[in-house]
Amino acid sequence: MAMIAATLLFALLSLFFGRYPKPGFYVPLDGRSNALMHSILVNVRLPRIALALLAGSMLSASGYAFQMLFSNPLVEPGFLGVSQGSAFGAALMIVLGASSTVTVQISATIFGLFALTASYVLARHFRFGGWLLRLVLSGIAVSAIFSSALAVVKLVAEPTKDLQDITFWMMGGLWNASWGQLLSILPVVLLCEAIIITERWKLNLLSLGEKTSFSVGINPKRDRTILLAVATVGTTLVISVTGLIGWVGLITPHLARKLFGSESSFSLPASMVVGSFFLLVSDTIGRTLLPTEIPIGLVTSLFGAMIFIIILTLKHQEGKA
């Protein structure tokens, strides 16, 4: 509860952080009479804050689900090629001249799912190491393939417009946030979140051995496939409008489990709230700290990596895989 309150409070405060009319924190008491200020609040900052909250919770939920589904606290969708796959999908559409956001989103989702499937199938055929190691290795291979493909796309991209769009993708950012963008992903993302929350008890069971989860009355193969697809679709939709934002899905589940225990009834929703908070703080810092905006992906990577190092050095309980 305290975490939700803190997130909402910060969301409210964040509304008054910005560079207009002066850099820093400013509460516009003349909001109603000042049309420009009003427009900035309602049409620029508010959708951006809402998008940060939505994206943070979805990336966290996906990361959480991936960790449970692969029974490995060290994975997130990015580790299995999903991020690079969808980045390639989006870049391809941008270069091919797709004008609508929806086309870019669909392409990003399809390639994200394809990358995940490729990682999974490859890992099954690898003849080296245990299942989790094989999965991480195949994820690295698939990511590398899509990275090089992406580099080729960037080479042929038209430098003044397309290349900029693609670069935005790679670094992640919410500066294009608008109500239209938010609404274009909102229904499906909320649906994905709802499915993951509904199936949170199953996530516990799927983190156990295959035979044990089968013996307590679920169908691990089917349930794992469905939840992986849901988590991947949610992630790719989010990054199709925000660009690549790393580390959120990896560290927020860790933090939530430290605070609320590993059982997902509490730690999954908590992880989503922490994710929203983390992304909102990162975005607010990114847009106010320096005169030019720092891409959010860079901020989350910096903070995420630092928190990750602290978590892993403090106590080695979760990171046995």
Q: Does residue 224 interact with another protein by CB under 8 A?
A: no
Q: Does residue 321 interact with another protein by CB under 8 A?
A: yes
Rounded to the nearest 10 degrees, how much is the dihedral formed by the CA atoms of 189, 195, 197, 202?
-140
Nearest in space to 115 (alpha carbons), one of 95, 151, 140, 152: 140
Q: Does residue 217 interact with another protein by CB under 8 A?
A: yes
Considering the complex, state which of residue 32 and residue 211 has its C-beta at the smaller distance from another protein.
211
Contact 179, 195 (CB under 8 A): no
Q: Does residue 23 interact with another protein by CB under 8 A?
A: no
Report the nearest approach of another protein to the CB of residue 257 (Å).
7
Binding mask 175-214 for another protein (x = CB under 8 A): -----------------------x--x--xx-xxx-xx-x
> Which tokens sit at 192?
């994905």
- Scanning residues 229 to 268, which ones bind another protein (CB under 8 A)? 257, 261-263, 265
Considering the complex, state which of residue 52 and residue 68 has its C-beta at the smaller distance from another protein.
68
Contact 57, 302 (CB under 8 A): no
Tell me which of 41, 218, 226, 298 binds another protein, using CB under 8 A.
218
Q: Does residue 68 interact with another protein by CB under 8 A?
A: yes
Q: What CA–CA distances, in Å, run from 87 to 153, 296, 301? A: 11, 16, 17
> Which tokens sit at 317?
């309980």
Q: Does residue 317 interact with another protein by CB under 8 A?
A: yes
Considering the complex, state which of residue 53 and residue 228 has its C-beta at the smaller distance from another protein.
228
Query: Site for another protein (CB under 8 A): how many residues?
Result: 28
CA distance 126 to 134: 6
Report the nearest approach of another protein to the CB of residue 136 (Å).
14
- DSSP 3-state assignment of 23? coil
- Indicate the residue type of 215: S
Considering the complex, state which of residue 179 and residue 214 has its C-beta at the smaller distance from another protein.
214
> Which tokens sit at 9?
């409070």
Q: Does residue 225 interact with another protein by CB under 8 A?
A: no
Q: Does residue 124 interact with another protein by CB under 8 A?
A: no
> Which tokens sit at 3?
């975490």
User: Could you write out the DSSP letters of every residue in 222-289?
Assistant: HHHHHHHHHHHHHHHHHHHHH----SHHHHHHHHHHHHH-S-HHHHHHHHHHHHHHHHHHHHHHHHHS
Considering the complex, state which of residue 174 and residue 205 has its C-beta at the smaller distance from another protein.
205
Considering the complex, state which of residue 32 and residue 222 has its C-beta at the smaller distance from another protein.
222
Report the nearest approach of another protein to the CB of residue 81 (Å).
21
Prior bond of 21 cis (ω within 30°): yes
Q: Where along the sequence are the contacts to another protein (CB under 8 A)?
A: 68, 71-73, 198, 201, 204-205, 207-209, 211-212, 214-219, 257, 261-263, 265, 317-318, 320-321
